[in-house]
A = this chain, B = another copy of it.
Amino acid sequence: MNEIYPVKPLLEALDGKTQSVPPVWLMRQAGRYLPEYRALRRRAGDFLELCFKPKLAAEATLQPVRRFGFDAAILFSDILVIPHALGQRVAFEEGEGPRLDPAGDSAAIARLYAAVDHSALDPVYEAIHLVKSALPETLGLIGFCGAPWTVATYMVAGRGTEGGVPARRLALEDPIAFGELIDRLVAASIEYLVRQFQAGVDAVQIFDSWAGVLGPRELERWCIAPVRKICEKVRAQWPKARIIGFPRGVGTALSRYVEQVPIHAVSLDWTIDRSFARDQVPRNVAIQGNLDPVTLLVGGSALDREVEDILQSFVDRPFIFNLGHGILPETPVEHVERMLRRIRGADRK
């Protein structure tokens, strides 16, 4: 007796199926480029408040899906909810980005909670429930967390950095303390992702936005090994877990990443050569990406050409269309619509 489940194109890709029209979603698809998001944001006040009010977070998650008909919704949240749930003070200042009480030495790291305070994260799981109940059955719901290395760059510096120098410095000066921080983030991420699956997400993405600033040995130790451990443990606890890795700027280490980290898909940034990626990523790992957000911002024939090139490069294998990094706030919504028409064939020659 086979039950018939509605097909979710996102999950088909993650399970290794080649599709003539690939599923598509965009990183940061809920955001300031949408008028309805800006209105929601004005109601919520602080950015973290928006993340921690389940109804508002669910609404932000659903807005872009409703407007554009993407194949997946990604939970509206932030990678810094984990430092918050580990007891670090996190605030978002308007136009300034995140500010944290820096965890820059062993004493500050030791003061973090030993385990995640899930009560702080309950609103996230509640938002997942709300989205799940409202989402059409053919759409995937994606949860996420930051990779330990990337989250650590914010925790150590107390803010966003260009190049993660404070974290790179601590990792060299006191690898025991820094390793302790990474271990806590690994443990927290495992629990957090499993709870997201329990709450109803179909897949998760692990964002390693700052992987590209590490040398090869540091990449192995602080990026690849911790993310591998997260994937192994999450999959052991939740066998249906599908995981997308996004090691931005991984460059020549792409093959090492996909060999060592048991992921279902790898998300590529826009700088990577597509034929290189085809060669390096085995067919049992789906590719996701990799439109330059600036190309989407500019639109027009440059956008058409690039969408076509991406499709030509990847549509004969398991593939998810996405950006190579987060959507830029000034992006016109018409360009997103144009991109979708082209991917879905109405505009294709």
- Stretch in A138-146, A195-203, A271-279 with 4+ CB within 8 Å of B: A271-279
Q: A252: which of B165, B212, B273 is its contact (CB, 8 Å)?
A: B273
- Evaluate contact between A276 and B252: CB separation under 8 angstroms: yes
Q: Which of A17-25, A34-42, A294-302 sits within the interface? A: A294-302
Q: Interface 1/0s, chain A 157-177, versus B by CB < 8 A?
A: 000001001001100110000
- Judged by a CB distance under 8 angstroms, whether A292 is at the interface is yes
> How many copies are assembled?
2
Q: Is the interface of A mostly helix, strand, loop or mixed?
A: helix
Name the residue among A214, A215, A252 with the largest chain B CB count within 10 angstroms.
Answer: A215
A213 within 8 A of B: yes
Q: Does A187 contact B (CB under 8 A)?
A: no
Chain B: minimal CB distance from A260 (Å): 15
Tell whether A215 pairs with B270 under 8 Å between CB atoms, given A162-B162, A251-B251, A252-B252.
Answer: yes
Assess whether B297 is in contact with A214, with CB atoms less than 8 Å apart.
no
Question: Which B residues lie within 8 Å of A173 (CB)?
Answer: 298, 302
A253 interface hit (Cβ, 8 Å)? yes
Quick one: given A251-B251, A252-B252, A252-B272, are A168 and B294 in contact (CB under 8 Å)? yes
Contacts of A328 in B (CB 8 A): 165
**Using Cβ atoms and an 8 Å threshold, which residues of chain B touch A302?**
172-173
Which residues of B are found within 8 Å of A253, using beta-carbon distances?
Answer: 273
Q: Is A332 on the interface with B (CB-CB < 8 A)?
A: no
CA distance A168 to B298 in the complex (A): 10
Instruction: Classify chain A: how many residues form its interface, as a range.
Output: 20 to 34
A216 CB–B CB distance under 8 Å? yes
Chain A window 258-296, contacts with chain B (Cβ cutoff 8 Å), 1 for yes, 0 for no? 000000000000111110100000000000000010110
Given the known interface contacts A251-B252, A252-B252, A276-B252, the answer about A213 and B271 at a Cβ–Cβ threshold of 8 Å is: yes
Contacts of A169 in B (CB 8 A): 294, 297-298
Instruction: Please judge, given known A-B contacts A252-B251, A252-B252, whether A215 and B165 are in contact too, CB under 8 Å.
Output: no
Cβ–Cβ contact B272 & A168, under 8 A: no
Q: Which of A168, A253, A294, A297 has the most CB of B within 10 A?
A: A294
CB distance from A287 to the nearest CB of B (A): 15
Q: Which B residues lie within 8 Å of A216 (CB)?
A: 271-274
User: What's the nearest-Cβ distance from chain B to residue A251, in Å?
Assistant: 3
Answer whether A212 and B271 are a contact pair too, CB < 8 Å, given A252-B251, A276-B252.
yes
**Could you name 22 residue pairs across A and B whose Cβ atoms are closer than 8 Å?**
A162-B162, A165-B294, A168-B294, A169-B294, A169-B297, A169-B298, A172-B294, A172-B302, A173-B298, A173-B302, A212-B249, A215-B270, A215-B271, A216-B271, A216-B272, A216-B273, A249-B249, A251-B251, A251-B271, A251-B272, A252-B252, A252-B272
A-B pairs, 3 with minimum CB distance: A251-B251, A172-B298, A168-B294
